[in-house]
């Protein structure tokens, strides 16, 4: 009864901003997140930059486009405006000081995800552990996401 309803309402209120491309790789946890958003249990957002990256993937074909276009109805798309871009630049510098990566995409995508969650009641879900000392910016690895 009551206890379960309370948890359901908390679950519905939880928001996640996701920049993860694991969904394209068929990652089970990423798919669970998407299904939760479709069911209306959580809110998911994706940046316009991540859309650009997904649409530009080598393996992206007409079938992928149809599938992703359908999914977009259940995701909030956040455009990268000048404010987000400035915060992302700041976060990218912090990431470069603390994270080891040979890919600049890592810094770009994570910085944009971080700038989107800053000041919002949500977390950035990523495919890898990200440690950053920035107020109001929280990264959560996909593997550690608990939906229930």
Q: Which helix (H) or strand (E) holds 126?
A: strand 123-126
DSSP 8-state code for residue 24: G
Q: In the numeric block, which tokens belong to residue 55?
A: 């649409």
Q: What is the mean pLDDT of the chain?
A: 80
Q: How far apart are the first and last CA of the chain?
A: 16
Please, are residues 37 and 72 in contact by the beta-carbon 8 Å criterion?
Answer: no
- pTM over 0.85? The answer is no
pLDDT in tens, 77-125: 999 999 999 999 999 999 888 877 777 777 888 899 999 999 888 888 8
In the chain, pLDDT over 90 holds for what percent of residues? Answer: 19
Tell me the C-alpha distance between 96 and 107, whole Å. Answer: 7
Q: Which helix (H) or strand (E) holds 52?
A: helix 48-55
Q: Is 5 exposed, middle or buried (0-12, 13-18, 19+ CB in 10 A)?
A: exposed
pLDDT, residue 6, reads: 43
- Antiparallel, parallel or unpaired: β 123-126 and 75-78: unpaired
């Amino acid at each position: 009864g009551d206890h379960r309803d309370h948890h359901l309402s908390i679950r519905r209120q939880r928001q996640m901003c996701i920049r993860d491309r694991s969904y394209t790789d068929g990652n089970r946890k990423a798919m669970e997140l998407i299904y939760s958003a479709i069911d209306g249990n959580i809110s998911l957002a994706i940046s316009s930059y991540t859309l650009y990256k997904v649409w530009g993937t080598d393996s992206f074909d007409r079938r992928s486009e149809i599938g992703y276009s359908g999914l977009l109805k259940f995701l909030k798309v956040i455009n990268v405006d000048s404010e987000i871009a400035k915060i992302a630049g700041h976060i990218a510098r912090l990431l470069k000081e603390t994270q080891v990566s040979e890919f600049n995409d890592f810094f770009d995508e994570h910085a944009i995800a971080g700038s989107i969650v800053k000041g919002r009641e949500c977390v950035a879900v990523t495919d890898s552990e990200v440690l950053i000392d920035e107020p109001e910016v929280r990264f959560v690895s996909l593997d550690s996401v608990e939906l229930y």
